[in-house]
């Protein structure tokens, strides 16, 4: 079993339904089980030229999975799920119904044409790190160390909470459990 982290985002269509449906699809993969989920947060769209406040805002979350499939097989399944949810790849970092990024797969580090692990920009993205810490307060990003020590993990000013029931039924994110 390998523990992997998947970041989810959506800024087109019914964003909440897109994320919830994608999580159910990930959990339904053979050999894969969603074991933790963050709450949902909103953020402005990030484009190659920077933040684009004129684009629809993103709804973001992170899930942690235990899986028996390889990193490339998991990536293929994530790409398939994106396509089934209407993802069309027209422009780099363009608006999308669903974005599923494989952030980590165990502690593996690699760089190929198809997959770079850990995700090359995860360490800079508060919309990945803040939800990740909600799902796992002891999170480690290979090559970067503890997620809570990364500058972007404290950059919650560019995120805002999205009020919704938990993504994983019967659970609350770590940060919310601690507050109760």
Q: Is 96 a catalytic residue?
A: yes
Closest by Cα among 87, 91, 71 to 31 = 71
Q: Is 101 a catalytic residue?
A: yes
Tokens 């990024």 appear where? 101
CB atoms within 10 A of CB 87: 19
- Return d(Cα 139, Cα 124) in angstroms, integer: 15
Q: Which two tokens stand for residue 169?
A: 């039924």
Decide: 54 and 1 in contact? Cβ < 8 Å. no
Which of 20, 101, 125, 136 is flagged as catalytic?
101
Q: Is 92 a catalytic residue?
A: no
Which of 15, 20, 96, 125 is flagged as catalytic?
96
The residues pairing with 8 across neighbouring beta strands, listed in sequence order, are 61, 100
Q: Is 99 a catalytic residue?
A: yes
Strands 110-111 and 116-117: antiparallel
Which of 87, 89, 95, 138 is flagged as catalytic?
87
- Return d(Cα 97, Cα 124) in angstroms, integer: 23
Which of 15, 20, 25, 99 is flagged as catalytic?
99
Any idea which residues carry the catalytic annotation?
A: 87, 96, 99, 101
């Amino acid at each position: 079993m390998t523990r992997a982290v998947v970041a989810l985002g959506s800024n087109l269509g019914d964003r909440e339904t897109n994320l919830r449906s994608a999580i159910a699809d990930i959990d339904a993969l053979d050999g894969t089980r969603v074991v933790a989920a963050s709450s949902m947060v909103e953020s402005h769209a990030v484009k190659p030229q920077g933040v684009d406040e004129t684009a629809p805002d993103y709804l973001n979350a992170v899930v942690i999975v235990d899986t028996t499939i390889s990193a490339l097989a998991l990536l293929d399944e994530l790409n398939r799920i994106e396509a089934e949810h209407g993802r069309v790849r027209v422009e780099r970092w363009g608006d999308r119904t669903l974005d599923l990024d494989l952030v980590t797969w165990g502690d593996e580090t690699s760089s190929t044409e198809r997959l770079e692990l850990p995700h090359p920009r995860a360490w800079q993205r508060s919309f990945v790190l803040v939800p990740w810490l909600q799902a796992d307060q002891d999170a480690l990003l290979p090559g970067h160390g503890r997620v809570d020590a990364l500058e972007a993990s404290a950059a919650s000013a560019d995120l805002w909470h999205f009020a919704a029931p938990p993504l994983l039924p019967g659970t609350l994110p770590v940060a919310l459990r601690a507050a109760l």
